[in-house]
Amino acid sequence: MTSKAVASLQAEVNRLRHELQTLKVEGESTMADETMFVGQYLVERLVQLGVTKMFGVPGDFNLGFLDFVEDHPKIDWVGDCNELNAAYAADGYARVNEGKIGVVTTTFGVGELSAMNGIAGAFSEHIPVLHLVGVPSTSQQKAKPMLHHTLGDGRYDAYYKASQQFTIAQAVLNSKETAAAEIDRILTECLVMARPVYLMLPTDVAYERIPAKRLQTPLSIEPPANDPEVEEFVLDEIVKLVEEAQNDVIILVDACAIRHGVKKEVEELYRRTGFPVYSAPMGKTAVSESYERYGGIYVGSVSNPAIKEKVEAAKLILSVGGLKSDFNTGNFTYHIPTQRTIELHSDHTRVQFAGFPGIGMKRLLPKLTSRLQPFKEDAVQIEVPKFELPVPQEDNDVISHTWLWPRVGQFFKSKDIIVAETGTSSFGVLDIPLPPESIFVSQILWGSIGWTVGATLGASFGALDRGLGRTILFVGDGSIQLTVQELSVMLHWGLKPIIFVLNNSGYTIERYLHGMKRKYNDISNWKWTQLLETFGGEEGKSCKSYTVRTKQELSNLLDDPTFAKADVIQLVELIMPQTDAPRALKAQAELSGKTNRYVAEF
| Residues marked as catalytic | 60, 83, 148-149, 447, 477, 504, 506, 510
Rounded Cα gap, residues 188 and 197, in angstroms: 10
Rounded Cα gap, residues 408 and 431, in angstroms: 12
Rounded Cα gap, residues 602 and 593, in angstroms: 18
How many Cβ atoms from other residues are within 10 Å of residue 375's Cβ? Answer: 20
Burial category of 56 from C-beta neighbours within 10 Å (exposed 0-12, middle 13-18, buried 19 and up): buried
Residue 320's contacts (CB-CB under 8 Å, 6 or more residues apart) are 251, 252, 253, 254, 256, 257, 262, 266, 269, 344, 361, 365
DSSP strands (E only) in 484-586: 498-503, 543-548, 569-575
Rounded Cα gap, residues 301 and 588, in angstroms: 9
Query: Helix 83-96 and helix 110-124: axis angle, to 10°?
Result: 30
Q: In what order do the strands lie in the sheet with 53-56?
A: 76-79, 53-56, 102-107, 129-135, 197-202, 169-172
**449 neighbors 423 (Cβ within 8 angstroms):** yes
Q: Which residues on adjacent β-strands are paired with residue 420?
A: 474
Which amino acid appears at position 267 of this protein?
E
**Could you say which DSSP state residue 526 is in?**
P
**79 neighbors 51 (Cβ within 8 angstroms):** no
Residue 405's contacts (CB-CB under 8 Å, 6 or more residues apart) are 389, 428, 429, 431, 432, 582
Rounded Cα gap, residues 130 and 199, in angstroms: 7
Helix ranges, 438-524 (H): 451-466, 477-483, 486-492, 508-513
291, 294, 296, 301 alpha-carbon torsion, rounded to 10°: 180
Rounded Cα gap, residues 451 and 527, in angstroms: 21
Which amino acid appears at position 601 of this protein?
E
CA 253 to chain centre: 15
Rounded Cα gap, residues 190 and 169, in angstroms: 8
CB crowding 301-313: b at 16 or more within 10 Å, else e: bbbbeebbebbbe
CA atoms 543, 546, 552, 554: torsion sign:
positive
How many Cα atoms are found within 13 Å in the side-chain-facing hemisphere of 279? 29
Q: How far from 428 is each of 250, 502, 559, CA to CA, in Å?
A: 25, 12, 21
CA-wise closest residue to 74 among 46, 113, 115, 35: 46
